[in-house]
């Protein structure tokens, strides 16, 4: 008999990499209901015809626009979902979704985008970059302390972990003491395509994302103010007013644009600027699918998607000199758009769906044989491959502007 499947995610309030994974899971399991704390249909109409089951937070004031205010209540909210009718629960989690409670006979597989950054290795950085004063930090630290305890405990409710990169696999091993299988998230290579005239030179540099501190748009703007090269910024966020004041006359803010406009923006770009440290990063793959090289900070998921000097250029420090040097060095390289696009095709939606479905089927077969997952002792665990990649990267000689 075909197993009954449910999908669980943290929230559905805006479009990002995690939401695109939910789209793929919804296609793989068209009959599966989607459980989430909060759903904003206006922002994500692609789910309006699905069976989306929300928590009590859906009715809370401003929950659709300021969902982060309800983070302390979200662990309790996901624990209220009744999943007893399902054989397989697939959670897509970067926050609380993996904390759902399932029956002993239910197999729970979590696609973990990242252990909660604001609870673990990113907590101090979040305090600094979001400018919390001392009065706000005291209760915030207490809330995050409790969240950290819950996050670690809830990881033990997961039977099998899947994750988006070797980098996050390493973090899951560190904070949850669990093994994870890497299945890279998909890029829609049928939408993000090469331009008709691949010989046409790029007209500007491009930066895309939520305008929040960790995305390092401040660094991009400082660099292009000095270089005096044309830069287009796509996206909105809490830092927008500050960044607009900082930007010089060569920098243009486009705000929120449609997917069709975004494809055109990619196709006419000289390069995508990506200075943040991401767990994986779908945006660089979208750019590469359009034949556009990526100038990226050489940490995190960028090491797994960008081939140095072939599909992009990696720089070593989140500093003006390092990024500026990489931009100038990239301008001297003759990029092969066809080769860049071919690399992005390795991460296409079909490959993701086939790998994910095959892995779930294998786990389900194992589960039905009575093989219960064991908690791993990581004292002698294998070396994570990103460590080797980082060592190789450390030996690279990247021209710097001094």
Distances (CA, A) of 383 to 214, 299, 377, 393: 28, 17, 14, 16
Tell me if 399 is assigned to some domain: no
**Angle, alpha carbons 53-58-59 (nearest 5°):** 130
Compute the distance between CA of residue 137 and CA of residue 128 in angstroms, rounded to an integer: 10
Q: Is the pLDDT of residue 383 over 70?
A: no
User: How far is the C-alpha of 365 from the C-alpha of 386, rounded, in Å?
Assistant: 30
Indicate the pairing of strand 160-163 with strand 294-297: unpaired
- Nearest C-alpha neighbor of 248 from the set 226, 270, 265: 226
CA angle 224/267/247 to nearest 5° reads 20
Are 356 and 339 contained in the same domain? no
CATH number at residue 247: 3.40.50.2000
Instruction: Retrieve residue 47's tokens.
Output: 């789910």
Identify the pLDDT of residue 335. 97
Mean of the pLDDT values across residues 64-85? 94
Name the CA radius of gyration of the chain, rounded. 21
Q: In what order do the strands lie in the sheet with 52-54?
A: 52-54, 34-36, 5-9, 88-93, 107-112, 160-163, 180-182
Which residues, other chains included, contact 394 with Cβ-Cβ below 8 Å and sequence gap of 6+?
none
pLDDT value of position 83: 98
**Do 337 and 248 belong together in one domain?**
yes
Residue-wise pLDDT for 221-250, tens only, equals: 999 999 999 999 999 988 999 999 999 999
Task: Identify the pLDDT of residue 382.
Answer: 46
CB burial readout 234-258, b (16+ within 10 A) else e: bbeeebbeebeeebeeebebeeeee
User: What domain range is 40 assigned to?
Assistant: 5-186+349-388
Q: How many residues does the chain have?
A: 402
Number of domains in the chain: 2
Residue 174 vs residue 214, higher pLDDT: 174
Residues 179 and 226 in one domain: no
Q: How far apart (Å, rounded) are the C-alpha atoms in residues 284 and 277?
A: 12
Do 158 and 303 fall within a single domain? Answer: no
Identify the bridge partners of residue 208 per DSSP, sorted by sequence position.
234
CB 292 within 8 A of CB 374: no
Is position 158 within any domain?
yes
- Tell me the pLDDT tens digit for each residue of 113-158: 999 877 777 656 655 555 556 566 677 777 888 888 999 999 999 9
Check whether residue 138 and residue 75 sit in a common domain: yes
Domain final residue, candidates 294, 328, 345? 345
Helices (H) and strands (E) in the chain, counts: 14, 13
Is residue 394 one of the residues assigned to a domain?
no
- From first CA to last CA, the distance across the chain in angstroms is 66
CA distance 254 to 87: 46
Let me know if residue 17 belongs to a domain. yes
On whether both 111 and 259 belong to a single domain, the answer is no
Q: What's the confidence (pLDDT) of residue 144?
A: 82
Count CB neighbours of 28 within 10 A.
17
Question: 79: which 2 tokens?
Answer: 């624990």
Q: How many CB atoms lie within 10 A of CB 274?
A: 27
pLDDT of 392 above 60: no
- Considering the domain architecture, whether residues 362 and 341 belong to the same structural domain is answered as no
**Which tokens in the block code for residue 215?**
């995305």
């Amino acid at each position: 008999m075909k197993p009954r499947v449910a999908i669980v995610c943290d929230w559905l309030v805006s479009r990002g990499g995690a939401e695109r994974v939910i789209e793929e899971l919804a296609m793989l399991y068209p009959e599966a209901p989607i459980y989430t704390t909060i759903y904003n249909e206006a922002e994500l109409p692609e789910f309006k015809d699905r069976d989306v089951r929300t928590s009590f937070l859906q009715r809370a004031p401003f929950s659709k626009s300021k969902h982060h205010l309800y983070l302390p209540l979200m662990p309790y909210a996901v624990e209220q979902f009744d999943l007893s009718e399902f054989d397989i629960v697939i959670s897509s989690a970067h926050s609380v979704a993996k904390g759902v409670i399932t029956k002993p006979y239910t197999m729970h597989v979590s696609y973990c985008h990242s252990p909660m950054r604001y609870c673990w290795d990113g907590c101090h950085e979040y305090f600094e970059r979001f400018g919390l004063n001392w009065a706000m930090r005291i209760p915030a630290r207490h809330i995050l302390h409790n969240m950290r305890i819950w996050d670690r405990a809830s990881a033990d409710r997961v039977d099998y972990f899947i994750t988006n990169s070797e980098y996050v696999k390493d973090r899951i091993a560190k904070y949850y003491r669990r093994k994870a299988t890497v299945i890279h998230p998909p890029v829609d290579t049928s939408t993000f395509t090469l331009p008709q005239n691949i010989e046409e030179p790029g007209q500007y540099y491009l930066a895309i994302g939520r305008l929040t501190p960790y995305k390092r748009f401040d660094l991009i703007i400082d660099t292009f103010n000095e270089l005096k090269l044309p830069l287009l910024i796509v996206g909105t966020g809490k830092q927008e007013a500050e960044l607009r004041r900082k930007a010089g006359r060569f920098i243009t803010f486009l705000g929120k644009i449609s997917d069709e406009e975004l494809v055109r923006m990619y196709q006419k770009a000289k390069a995508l600027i990506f200075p943040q440290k991401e767990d994986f990063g779908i945006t660089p793959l979208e750019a590469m699918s359009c034949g556009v090289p990526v100038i990226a900070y050489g940490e995190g998921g960028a090491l797994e998607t960008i081939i140095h000097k072939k599909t992009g250029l990696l720089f070593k420090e989140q500093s003006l000199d390092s990024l500026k040097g990489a931009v100038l060095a990239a301008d001297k390289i003759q990029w092969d758009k066809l080769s860049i696009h071919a690399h992005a095709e390795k991460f296409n939606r079909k490959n993701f769906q086939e790998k994910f479905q095959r892995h779930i089927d294998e786990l389900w077969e194992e589960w039905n044989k009575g093989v219960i997952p064991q908690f791993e002792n990581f004292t002698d665990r294998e070396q994570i491959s990103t460590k080797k990649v980082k060592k190789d990267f450390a030996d690279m000689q990247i021209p710097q502007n001094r």
